[in-house]
Every structure is written in structure tokens, then in C-alpha cells.
Amino acid sequence: MSDRYSKSRRLTQQSAQLIAGTASLLNDPPLVFVRAQGNRLWDADGNEYIDHHAAFASQLLGHNHPEVNLAVSTAIERGSSMMGSGVTEGEIQLAELIRAAVPSMERVQFASTGNDALTQAIRLSRAWTCREDIVVMLGGYNGWHNDASHAALPALELVGPRQVGEYQFATTLADFPADVRRHVHVINFNDLDSVEYILQRYPIACVITEPMLQNIGVIPPRPGYLAGLRKLCDEHGALLVFDEVRSGFRASFGGYQSIAGVTPDLSVFGKNLANGYPFGVVGGRGSVMALFDSPDPSWCVTLNGTFNPHPLTIAAALATLTILQREQDGVYQRLESLGGRLQKGLEMVFAELNVTATVSRMGAAFCVYFCDHVPVDWHDLMTSHDFALDRRYRRGLIERGIYLFPLPCKQGLLSAAHTREDINKMIEATREILSAEHPSVLRHLSAT
């Protein structure tokens, strides 16, 4: 029997000898992608896939969007280069576009990635409040740096049972130092009682959250949760930081904060902002952002990074936001229409096959949870979701030419390049996979 993935398999094995922590090792089968266009991916063996991964939400317009690529190539042709000195006209234009889209971003600063931008938001918060401690959400992802990576995907056995307050679980030096851990307070998303508990007991500089928890699918905020965070932060003198690296410009042109109607003190954007080019931005209240410019060395937050405002990523971001601003009604309505069609189709399949599953969706982001409800936090997810079925489901999709990241609970995504035909293929592939999981149901349907 021929191996459809022989070249990918060989390259993955080769990479394991040369590159530490090779991300492709997460793939099952071990895929190596070599080309992408629009909503399609091709692996090293020539297999074609509909892409529902979008590079962890980096491709809102689709891969290699011609207008974005043209902006980058034009920047190269006109001699743009990394000067490392002074501001450029493109940076000013981009800052104006961002502020017009997201009014809470009174002033901005650019970074190479969302991770770098979030790191700067933490430093600003600590300088502004003269406090060291921060709050992060269990199951959330706010970058790989010490202050945030601890909470991303811990085992439930390590975390312990649900409680009001923080989860102080053990780490090793391979995770991050104990002295850092004592300043980072991990609590559950959607849990205002725990937020208040921590704010009353520790000198909190900022509360950091994705406004919609997306590292573990699509977990929406409960009604009043984000407004409650705003109120508690104001009462206790902490800054509220929204990590919109995934949701920014994907949920809506103004970010998820424009949907929620809650204004954070600082926000972090990235990924969709430059449609796949490496970029991040931190911004917010002008008085807080002014700490980057403070003449007082005891207050000034140092900002360094030679490649932060790289002219090629600036060009990509300018083109992406220009497209979204020009076509925002059409883009977001189309994504909502396709997302709604996908959700309705999947839910019909689940009902038809009597499969316990639910779809959580916000616009172009979706996740199938194999349980009878949308989880509200990490503990709910870990105790309710059928992880083994999720893994088989994702493997089945890949075998049928649909790429959804093969790690359970990772969200699926739509881009402006997807079509109704793509949605139909996803629905039919789901029916095939789950019918094989429930053959007795399939026989019954065939008989009737």
C-alpha cells in the first residue's frame, strides 16, 4: 500500500535531527506544507487541502492575497529597507488606520509579533501602576514568555479541582522560575469571583485576557463578564488588557471589544493585522502609552527592537487594513454567512447521527466540542469534552483533504477565500467520519 505522505514523513524525520521542537511533529500524519494559495494548502507529496487552520488565525484574507503581496513587492522594488532609525511615513499611515478602526488605541507601538507586543503591555502596566503582579486566564494563550506561558495548556491533574481564587500548580525550571510564578496569578475565564478574590489580596498591575477565549476553541464570555472585569479593574487600580491577537480584525473591523462594548486600557493585536506576515501592535490609553516617551528614567518603559517596524510588514499591514476598511461590510457579512452555513450544517449532522456535539462560533472562528454544551472555562472543557473522538475527527478530516489542526479543541477558521462549496465539503466529510463512528445509526438511516 502506497504512503500518501512519504515525502512529508521523510522531511519530518530529517527535521527532528536538525531542528529542536519541530512544530510539524504535532501533525498526524506528519505533514510538511510547501505551498498555499487562497484557502488551499499543498503538502510535499502534492496532496491538496482546504485550509481551516489559517496559521493559527493569521490569514483572514486567505494565503498570498494578491493585493497584500503586491504591496510588499512594491515596497521592495522602490528600495524600502530596514533603516533602524526614525519613523517612516508608512508607520504613521498604519497608526492612523488602526486608531480609526479601534478608537481605544489612542496611541500605538509596533512589534515583531503578538508575543512581543503583549510583553510590552505587561511592562507598561507594571510601570503605570508601580505593581508587579498580573492575572492570566487558565487555558488562555498570551505568548511564550515567562509571565504568560504557564497557563496555556496544563494538565487537569496538575491544576486541581475548581475553586474560587487562583490555581497554584507546580512547575519546573523548564517552565519558568518560581520567583516569576509568585507574581503570576492563574484563574479561570468567566469567573468574576476569582478576579475579585485576587484583586483584593495582591498588588495587581493588570488583568490579561482574550475577550473570547480562543486558545482552546471558541469559549465566549458570559453576559456581563467583560464589563465586570472593567468595573473590578477600575475599583482596584489595575489595568485591563485585551489580547486580541486572534480576534482583532477577525471578529469585526473594530476587534471583539467593539462587539462587547467594553473598552480596555491596553490592547494587543497581531496575526490578521498583516495577513500572515509577522507583526504585532500594542496600543491604548494615551497617558499609559506615553510611558514609552517619559523623560523621567524612573518611569520610562524602554522599547527596543530593530525589526519591530520592518517596512515589508508595515506594507503588508497597511494593505490588509486598507482592504478590510474598503470592503468591511462585504468581508464580514460573507464570513458570517459562511460561518452560519457551516454551523447549521454541522448541527444537522450531529442531530441526524445522534452524536453528542455542539458548535461554538464567533464569525469566522468555530470549534466543535464533543459534549452537550459550549464549555465556559478550562475545567468545564477538560471534564466534558471527548478528546479521543476529537482527535479521530481531525485525523479523518485531514485524510479527506480538509486541514483542521490535529490537536483537540484548536479552533477552526474561515477566510475570505472560502466558498460555499468548501463549507459543503466540510459538512459531508463530518457526516462520513461520524457515520463510521456510529455504524448502527448509519444502517438505520439507510434502511429508512
Chain length of the chain: 448
Alpha helices by DSSP H, 130-240: 146-149, 156-159, 178-181, 192-201, 225-236
Q: Which of 45, 147, 191, 243 is catalytic?
A: 243
Q: Is 271 a catalytic residue?
A: yes
Q: How far is CA 59 from CA 10, 123, 223, 301, 417, in A?
A: 28, 29, 29, 32, 10
Question: For residue 438, how many other CB atoms are within 10 A of its CB?
Answer: 14
Q: Are 245 and 320 contacting, i.e. CB atoms less than 8 angstroms apart?
A: no
Which residue, 436, 427, 428, 277, is CA-closest to 366? Answer: 427
Non-local CB neighbours of 251 within 8 Å, separated by 6+ positions: 212, 259, 362, 363, 365
Q: Is 393 a catalytic residue?
A: no
Q: Are 81 and 55 contacting, i.e. CB atoms less than 8 angstroms apart?
A: no
Q: Is 231 a catalytic residue?
A: no
Q: Which of 49, 141, 225, 393 is catalytic?
A: 141
Helix (H, G, I), strand (E, B) or coil at 46: coil
Name residue 320's amino acid: T
Q: Which of 271, 380, 390, 410 is catalytic?
A: 271
Helix (H, G, I), strand (E, B) or coil at 269: strand
Q: Are 198 and 165 contacting, i.e. CB atoms less than 8 angstroms apart?
A: yes
Q: How far apart are CA 369 and CA 384, in angstroms?
A: 9
Q: How far apart are CA 359 and CA 184, in angstroms?
A: 32
Cα-based torsion angle of the residue sequence 431, 434, 439, 443 in order, rounded to the nearest 10 degrees = -20
Q: Which residues are catalytic?
A: 141, 243, 271
